[in-house]
Amino acid sequence: MISGKGSNLAAILEAGVPVKAVVSNRSGVGGLDIARAAGIQIAAIERKAFAGRTEWEDAMAGFIEAAGCNLVALAGFMRILSGAFIDRFKGRIVNLHPSLLPDFKGLDTHARALAAGKKEHGCTAHWIIPELDEGPIIRQAKVKIRPEDTPQTLQERVLAAEHMMYPQVIKDILAGRVDLPE
Ligand code: GRF
């Protein structure tokens, strides 16, 4: 599930992960071009095209289920999903968050890590539960913060760490090497 550039999707594909389908909540984004070029079935399912949030989520869930996905990986997906949607994929839906959770849930994590004077930052792959950015942590990758870092330079290094870590997390889950959340 994506919302934008799809740099994580590209890394996942380059790592040889068998991606069955890609859904984006925004049309015309780079991630959809990447998926299309890889011959993967895609759907742009925009919230504004639906009367209510439930109908929007049902459309995304229906597309994912019809594609026969075993695992749902959010990769730069920037909307909050309801408990009902998450329960539909309970135990097989993961997210990648650009901070060392539980620090810096939510947005603008790089600027916040710098403002907090942190010495290190990074990214976290975690199982998704209804509470935002709260699910059991699967793996983290750390990035040293440098004195000259800006939110942009820090984000670039965190993104590189994401591209290294997330595809491997997904491969490990699919190979049964990661404990499922109870
Ligand atoms: C990245 O910063 C990632 O940490 C977050 O979404 C952003 C964009 O990801 N999850 P992508 O380039 O669209 O994969």
Are 27 and 44 spatial neighbours (Cβ–Cβ below 8 Å)?
A: yes
Using CA atoms, how far residue 164 sits from 29, 92, 97, 129, in Å, is 22, 21, 14, 24
Burial 42-64 (b: 16+ CB within 10 A, else e): bbbbeeeeeeeeeebbbbbbebb
* Residue 38 near residue 11, CB atoms below 8 Å: no
* 97 is a catalytic site residue: yes
* Residue from 1, 8, 155 to probe ligand 1 pocket by mutation (most atoms less than 8 Å from CB): 8
C-beta 122 within 6 A of ligand 1: no
Whole-number Å distance, alpha carbon 76 to ligand 1 midpoint, is 4
What pLDDT does 132 receive? Answer: 87
pLDDT of residue 131: 87
Distance CA 171, CA 95 (A): 14
- Residue 167 beta carbon below 6 angstroms from any ligand 1 atom: no
- The pLDDT of residue 76: 96
pLDDT of residue 14: 98
Q: How far apart are CA 68 and CA 97, in angstroms?
A: 25
β strands within the chain, DSSP E? 21-24, 41-44, 72-73, 93-97, 120-127, 137-144
**What does pLDDT average to in each consecutive run of 10 residues of the chain (182 residues)?**
98 98 98 98 98 98 97 97 96 97 97 98 96 93 98 98 98 95 81
pTM of the model: 0.96
Give long-range contacts, CB 8 A cutoff, 24+ apart: 135-139.
Answer: 135/95, 135/181, 136/181, 137/101, 138/94, 138/169, 138/173, 138/178, 139/165, 139/169
DSSP code of residue 117: T
Identify which of 75, 119, 72 has the alpha carbon closest to the alpha carbon of residue 97: 75
In the chain, how many H helices and how many E strands? Answer: 6, 6
Residue 182 has what pLDDT?
78
